[in-house]
Every structure is written in C-alpha cells, then in structure tokens.
Amino acid sequence: MNLAASQTVRIPKTAELVAGRIRKAIITGELQAGDNLPPEAQLITKFEVSRPTLREAIRILESENLILISRGARRGATILQPTADMISRSAGVALQAHGATIGDVYQARTLLEPQAARLAAEINPVEAGKALHAQVAVELALADKRDAAGLQHATGRFHRILLEKSGNITLAMFAYALDDIVSRHQEMVYRRRPVDDSEPRWAQMRYGIKSHERLAGLISRGEAAAAEQHWSRHMVNAGKFWLDEVAQTAVIDILE
C-alpha cells in the first residue's frame, strides 16, 4: 500500500462523536420523543467533555431536527421523533445545493421504480398488491368525480406505496426523500397545463389509472419480470407528459 498516495484520514471532532452517541440513543428509543435531554452538567460529566464541545454537539442535533431547543425562561432541549419530513427536507437541500433538475430526479425514479415493482412482486406480493389495488380504487373514484387536484395527490401516493411496499427499506426512504419534490413537480405541471373538463383529457388520465391497475395485478400474482417491464414502459411514457417543458427546471426553483 502506498501510504504517501493515500487520502488523509479525517478524525471526527469530539462534538460530532458526542452528537453521534445522542443520535443513536434517540433512534434506538433510549431517549423517547417528548423527553427532555438530560441537564447540561449531567451530559458534560457523562461524556467527559467541555461545555463548548457539548453545546456544539447540541447544535448539530438541532440542525438535524432531532431536538428542539427552548430558549428563554424555560430553557432546555426536547427530543423530537424522527420523521419522513426530515428526510425530505435534507434531500431537498442536498439536491438544490448540487444543482439537480426535475429531469434528473425523474430519471432516477425511472431507474428505481421498476426495480421496486420487481421486488414487491418477488417478496411482498400480497401486501403490496392489496395496498396498490386499494389506491387504484381511490384514483378511480376521484376520476369519476373529475377531481383533478385529488387525483394528482392520489397518483403521487401510488408511487410512494410502490416504493414503501417493495420490501426494501432503502427504497422506502427514497420515496420519503423525494416526496416533497415529486409533489411540487406535479403541482407545477398542473398549474402550467390545467386539467380541462374535456372527455379526451379525462380519458387520458383514466388510461394512466388502468396502467396502475395492471401493475397492481402483476404484483399481486407475483409476476416479477412482467411487473418490472410494465412499469419501466409506464415511467418512460409518463415522462413525456411530466417532463414536457420542465425537465431542465432546477429543484431549487420549485422548493423556494
């Protein structure tokens, strides 16, 4: 091994290590949501660190929305429950910082969602199929009412269910991470091209629902390869509608 050519190893700051210990206690449930963080003096003794180091660790956890600092007469730190919103906010900030576009996000979804469909059919067909069929029923009811806004949200929910029920935790987290971005993207498209009440437009939207229904059936029957192929075609075809004129829109422009 050429040590001279190797990269410098970064040693974590003490505050980061302390934050990591507290973070783990929150995630594992040792510290419960709603509990108060132990007093500062107790934590300083427990971790054998200085007051400035502990306060830096607290600031890290506050920035991650894992604790809420109450300032003023009733000072203290309250433990917060980790939520999907936290994942979504963090992902949104990271994508904005790196200049991601709507087209980039949709391309990632086009690569991953067909794989999620395959996994759902292979390892979770009954539960995934049931949840997706139930969502299709919601979509059909909204289409019958010609409720475009409701159908927009229901469509986004179908995609989230697919990833959540894939049986893969990482794919479920991917769904949470992109939830806000996908929702804002859809809202932007509908603002630019409002759904009119013409029968051709609603026929087009019902065609999309039928595609959802077909996927739910394939997954329910455990037809993994067919589910993957069908959803790959669906995402590519749907992308022609969802990305028309907006593919190069930066994520930062829809999350402002």
pLDDT of res. 89: 79
Q: Is the pTM of this model over 0.85?
A: no
% of the chain beyond a pLDDT of 90: 54
pLDDT in tens, 89-99: 788 888 888 89
Q: Return the higher-pLDDT residue of 101 and 72.
A: 101
CA distance 186 to 200: 20
- 167 has a pLDDT exceeding 80: yes
Average pLDDT of the chain is: 88
- 72 has a pLDDT exceeding 80: no
pLDDT in tens, 173-205: 888 888 888 888 988 888 887 777 777 888 888
pLDDT of res. 97: 87
Of 69-83, 139-153, 232-246, the range with the lowest mean pLDDT is 69-83
pLDDT of res. 147: 92
